[in-house]
Amino acid sequence: MDYAATGQQALARIAEAQDLDTLEKLRVEFLGKQGSISALLKTLGAMSPEQRQDEGPRIHALRESVTAALGERKSVLESAALDARLAAETVDLSLPAPEAPRGTVHPVSQVMDELAEIFADLGFAVASGPEIEDDWHNFTALNMPESHPARAMHDTFYFPDKDGQGRSMLLRTHTSPVQIRTMLAQGAPLRIIAPGRVYRSDSDATHTPMFHQVEGLVIDKGIHLGHLKWTLETFLKAFFEREDIVLRLRPSYFPFTEPSVEVDVGFALVNGKRVLGGSGDAPGHGWMELLGSGMVNRKVIEFGGLDPDEWQGFAFGIGVDRLAMLKYGMDDLRAFFDGDQRWLAHYGFSALDVPTLSGGVGTPA
Ligand code: 2NL
């Protein structure tokens, strides 16, 4: 049989195929299970050995030339298809990019950054320490011995087991243990703030079991209450961005300070809202309790490894969540820790607007 005509016809049709679909149909038509060339191959089985020796090589040559032609045409059509796609799918670089979702800074983080910035300017370093403490660093070193009633006042979360030295383990109830650790590690003189999470077993509209505190500690020679008052006044003026912040110091009691002073700030009632500024004694004004402080108790200086006849100091403690509420007008403490995206979208701060003294520690109006 003459296979040349069959071959030429097949090669011509392959050369004419304009797309990959058509080419695939041709492959099935010639080489598929029911294909015409496959059928020719099957006829070999029924031939005599002599005929098979004559026809076999020619049928196989036919199949090989068709297979090769299909392969070549396929790569031509594939690169043509790619060229067409590249020409069609151009990217318009002038189109605006879709806006990427942007996170916000939590008000508590924002306020802690503001505090660090203001106190850094006054020469304070930021100190940190463990949230899981032992009762020596959290209580004993702060002049709150085993039986001290203030230990009970702190509503402490205790762990069931003691540490290797037989000390009870607990979640720190204030950041004071950080300051004890820093005194022991660095000695004096010292100017630090210790911001961070603290824990007390207390939960209602104005108390959450976890809240944030910043404590400050200055240890140096000849430190007195005047340094304390100036430092707090300077800090509060910078934080609330008002020059007319007026402080009132009242006698108080903390086991770790002697004397101890409660610090009130004057406010005015504006449309029924408290706005800090001015003397609390002026008509229509009042005093708001803002923080506790005092001169560091001699015993605490000793527990910090220093000689209280040589070194004196002052210390203070403030609730960070409360500061954030006062500055940014948020009225429900519990919303701080709900993780509600809508609240964060409303009160959150831009990650790009980092507080600086030159640029302002507040946020743009
Ligand atoms: C408050 C009162 C206060 C301190 C914290 C302190 C720390 C050391 C030594 C002495 Cl290491 N004192 N901290 C002092 C006075 C008051 O916090 O009502 N905070 C919310």
Gyration radius from the chain CA atoms: 41
Predicted local confidence at residue 2, as pLDDT: 72
Q: Pocket of ligand 1, candidates 256, 258, 323: which has the most ligand atoms within 8 Å of its Cβ, to mutate?
A: 256
Structure confidence by residue, pLDDT tens digits, 45-84 = 888 888 888 888 889 989 999 999 999 999 999 999 899 8
Stretch (H or E) spanning 109: helix 107-121
Predicted local confidence at residue 283, as pLDDT: 94
Taking CA 127 as the corner, what is the angle to CA 123 and CA 128, rounded to the nearest 5 degrees?
A: 165
190-199 and 125-126 beta bridge pairing? parallel
Distance CA 236, CA 345 (A): 27
Predicted local confidence at residue 365, as pLDDT: 53
Structure confidence by residue, pLDDT tens digits, 96-120 = 988 887 888 999 999 999 999 999 9
Q: Which residues contact 59 (CB under 8 A, 6 or more apart)?
A: 3, 37, 40, 41, 43, 44
> For the chain, how many residues are written?
365
Predicted local confidence at residue 231, as pLDDT: 98
Mean pLDDT of 143-168: 86
pLDDT band at 364 (very low <50, low <70, confident <90, very high): low
- Maximum CA pair distance of the chain? 127
Nearest CA to ligand 1 atom 17: 317
Compute the half-sphere exposure of residue 195: CA atoms within 13 Å on the CB side of its CA: 18
Mean pLDDT of 125-150: 92
Distance CA 245, CA 53 (A): 112
Q: Which of 86-100, 171-185, 324-338 has the highest mean pLDDT?
A: 171-185
CA 216 to ligand 1 centroid distance, Å:
8
In terms of phi and psi (left: phi > 0; alpha: psi -120 to 50; beta: otherwise), the region of 329 is left
Asked if pLDDT for residue 270 goes beyond 60, the answer is: yes
CA nearest neighbour of 14 among 27, 4, 1: 27
Q: Please list, residue by residue across 203-231, b when 16 or more beta carbons sit within 10 angstroms of its beta carbon and e when fewer do.
A: eeeeebeebbbbbbbbbeeebeeebbbeb
Q: Which residues contact 18 (CB under 8 A, 6 or more apart)?
A: 77
CA 205 to ligand 1 centroid distance, Å:
24
Asked if pLDDT for residue 206 goes beyond 90, the answer is: no
Of the chain, the percentage scoring pLDDT greater than 90 comes to: 66
CA 176 to ligand 1 centroid distance, Å:
7
Is the distance from the beta carbon of residue 173 to the nearest atom of ligand 1 less than 6 Å? no
Nearest CA to ligand 1 atom 3: 317
Nearest CA to ligand 1 atom 7: 176
Predicted local confidence at residue 357, as pLDDT: 79
Asked if pLDDT for residue 272 goes beyond 70, the answer is: yes
Predicted local confidence at residue 34, as pLDDT: 92
Q: Pocket of ligand 1, candidates 219, 290, 295, 316: which has the most ligand atoms within 8 Å of its Cβ, to mutate?
A: 316
Orientation of helix 320-328 relative to helix 225-240, angle to 10°: 40
pLDDT band at 329 (very low <50, low <70, confident <90, very high): confident
Mean pLDDT of 326-336: 87
CA 220 to ligand 1 centroid distance, Å:
17
Name 176's bridge partners: none
Mean pLDDT of 83-91: 88
Q: Pocket of ligand 1, candidates 213, 261, 293, 323: which has the most ligand atoms within 8 Å of its Cβ, to mutate?
A: 293
Is the distance from the beta carbon of residue 256 to the nearest atom of ligand 1 less than 6 Å? yes
pLDDT band at 363 (very low <50, low <70, confident <90, very high): low
Q: How far is CA 122 from CA 27, 53, 218, 265, in A?
A: 84, 103, 11, 21
CA 135 to ligand 1 centroid distance, Å:
16
CA 281 to ligand 1 centroid distance, Å:
27
Is the distance from the beta carbon of residue 316 to the nearest atom of ligand 1 less than 6 Å? yes
Q: Which of 89-103, 192-206, 248-262, 317-331 has the highest mean pLDDT?
A: 248-262
Mean pLDDT of 231-260: 97
Q: Quick one: 196 exposed, middle or buried, by C-beta within 10 A (0-12, 13-18, 19+)?
A: buried
Is the distance from the beta carbon of residue 296 to the nearest atom of ligand 1 less than 6 Å? yes
Contact 347, 330 (CB under 8 A): yes
Q: Which residues contact 124 (CB under 8 A, 6 or more apart)?
A: 191, 192, 193, 216, 218
3-class SS string, 177-244:
HHHHHHHHHHCCCEEEEEEEEEECCCCECCECCEEEEEEEEEEECCCCHHHHHHHHHHHHHHHHCCCC
CA 294 to ligand 1 centroid distance, Å:
7
CA 109 to ligand 1 centroid distance, Å:
21
Contact 306, 219 (CB under 8 A): yes
Is the distance from the beta carbon of residue 216 to the nearest atom of ligand 1 less than 6 Å? no
Name the residue with tokens 């500690």. 217
